[in-house]
Amino acid sequence: MNVIIRADYEEISREAANIISAGLKENPKTVLGLATGGTPKELYRRLVKEYKKGELDFSQATSFNLDEYVGLGSENKQSYRYFMEKHLFSHVNMKTGNIHVPDGLAPDPQLHCMEYERMIAKAGGIDFQLLGIGSDGHIGFNEPGSSLASRTGVVVLARETIRDNSRFFDSEDQVPRMAISMGLGTIMDARKCIMLASGENKAEAVRKCIEGPLCAMTPASVLQMHPDTTVIIDEAAACKLERRDYYLWLEKTRRKLLYN
């Protein structure tokens, strides 16, 4: 894993936005895997800003979101589809037909999950998969104990995730108990993964993801087996890393080799 440590949330967002925007400029037909939640908001704001300045074009890009709550439709303000419209899709020139978010109201969710996998394959696979990490180590909604080879499916949210996500709802009772999520195997198929984490409440999950043993109890640790993952974290999220200084030194050395 390539670990990038920056001072704060603003800086990790800038770093990630730069990577995605460079990828999109190099390949306008990029297939993006997108995440919701608090973490990628500033990154999306930066991409929108670049688009509005005329520096970024989404017209040929395709996207697949990681997950959606079962039972919430696109009109529901807590749905991930609504989130994506609000923070990215409604501001840029992505073609509606190229946007994919799992349908929380699909009449046959299992069938829908299989169809979602087929659509990803038909698009040629995901080039950049953006990820956040849950305080319990989940990525997508793959909770501790998930199969490391899982595919898109219907999953049950862990109590910790329900508690964490209740901040976006009026009360904890309103947080849906189930979701449709890309599986860990689906995420691992992406050509490049970019995981973002900010804040001390993510520090333990980040430590287990990067330095812990590879195990289903920390679903994000599966990324240790991914050939091209960049983890971009702020100092607060990095505070429990045993080899923090090494990651900083490594990045500095790489930069020197690349630019000197």
Would you please indicate which residues are annotated as catalytic (active-site) residues?
67, 136, 138, 143
Distance in Å, CB of 51 to ligand F6R, minimum: 21
176: CB partners within 8 A, 6+ apart: 69, 70, 71, 72, 104, 157
Min CB(97)–ligand F6R separation in Å: 22
- Cβ neighbours of residue 140 under 8 Å, at least 6 residues apart? 66, 67, 131, 181, 182, 183, 184, 187
Distances (CA, A) of 163 to 84, 134, 139, 238: 22, 11, 16, 23
Whole-number minimum distance, CB 50 to ligand F6R, in Å?
Answer: 21
Q: Which is nearer to ligand F6R, 10 or 245 (CB)?
A: 10
Q: Which residues bind ligand F6R (CB under 6 A)?
A: 35-39, 66-67, 132-134, 138-141
Of 23 and 140, which CB lies nearer to ligand F6R in the complex structure?
Answer: 140
Residue number with the shortest CB distance to ligand F6R?
132
Sort 105 into a burial class: Cβ within 10 Å, 0-12 / 13-18 / 19+: middle
Do residues 202 and 190 make contact, with C-beta atoms less than 8 angstroms apart? no
Q: Which long-range contacts (CB under 8 A, 24 or more apart) does 214-218 make?
A: 214/148, 216/144, 216/145, 216/146, 216/147, 216/148, 217/137, 217/144, 217/145, 218/137, 218/144
Give the closest residue to 151 by CA, choosing from 107, 187, 105, 103.
187
Radius of gyration of the chain (CA): 17
Nearer to ligand F6R, 38 or 185 (CB): 38
Task: Please report how close the Cβ of residue 66 comes to ligand F6R at its closest, in angstroms.
Answer: 4
Query: Minimum Å distance from CB 113 to ligand F6R?
Result: 15
Which of residues 38 and 71 has its CB atom nearest to ligand F6R in the complex?
38
